[in-house]
Structure 1
Amino acid sequence: MTPNTARHPRAYVAPLVATLLTLPMAAVTFFFVGLSPMACDSCGDAASDRFDASYDVAFPAFGFGLLVVLAVLVAAWALPWQRRYAAARVWLAVVAPAAVVLDAIVFNGLVDWP
């Protein structure tokens, strides 16, 4: 076996750390996104209508972003555990938690807050 095709003994570390960071971050973010309609409980009719219309667009976009995060995590775990895929595995592990942050930023940007 060549050095690049040999099994990497610590190939699981980057996906494991990414999973342990990403899943709690995604759960907390999902919790606060779910509570965000309460921000406009005391709004007037016009502000409430604007908020509801923007939330109806932002929430599915947030859900799609979480699916992208899940796909990145699965890809980090699914790469062959060979040395030549170590860099790609680390990059996917870094992208996963960053994608949760980006997803939250996109959600906050799409919502017309009162």
Structure 2
Amino acid sequence: MTTTPTPVAGTDRHPHAFVAPLVSTLLTLPVAAVAFFFVGLAPMACDSCEGEVSDRFDASYDLAFPVFGFGLVVVLVVLLSAWALPWRRRNAAARVWPAVIAPAAVVLDFIVFHGLVDWP
């Protein structure tokens, strides 16, 4: 009679571990591209502005754009962490959370950008 060794709890490979990071990637990257597109078009909102209004807009945009860029870097790190976690059953929840947070963080990043800019 042969017995198969019992796997150590939490070390067995999860067959569908790639699903949450893949879905998150397929959502996050297009949303980030669209957000970056609109952030890039934002200076056109003040093309016809002059004087003090233009100066306030330019100063606020000069602060908001790097903040938005840093937010996208944070989103990328969160997304990569969803992929980088070991593909074991014990890490399933830990892998899903960054996968859910990544697209939400892009939306939050865009909201922060929109709030920082002094729109005309």
Calculate the TM-score normalised by the size of structure 1: 0.98
* Unaligned stretches of 5+ residues in structure 2: 1-6
- CA distance in 2 between partners of 1:72 and 1:65 (Å): 11
Check whether the contact 1:76–1:92 (CA below 8 A) recurs between aligned residues: yes
- CA distance in 2 between partners of 1:92 and 1:53 (Å): 33
Q: Does 1:64 align with 2:70?
A: yes
- Offset of 1:2 from its aligned partner? 2.6
Aligned amino acid, residue 60 of structure 1: P
User: What's 1:13 paired with?
Assistant: 19
Once the two structures are aligned, what percentage of the paired residues are identical? 76
3-state DSSP of counterpart to 2:29: helix
Match of 1:54 among 56, 60, 75: 60
1:68-89 deviations in whole A, cap 9, x for unaligned? 0000010000000000110010
User: What's 1:33 paired with?
Assistant: 39
- Which contiguous aligned blocks of 4+ residues in structure 1 show a shift greater than 4 angstroms? none
Give the count of matched residue pairs.
114
Check whether the contact 1:3–1:83 (CA below 8 A) recurs between aligned residues: no
User: What's 1:24 paired with?
Assistant: 30
- CA distance in 2 between partners of 1:38 and 1:45 (Å): 16
- Offset of 1:4 from its aligned partner? 1.5
Calculate the TM-score normalised by the size of structure 2: 0.93
User: What's 2:4 paired with?
Assistant: none
Considering only CA atoms, is the larger Rg found in Structure 1 or Structure 2? 2
RMSD in angstroms over aligned alpha carbons?
0.6
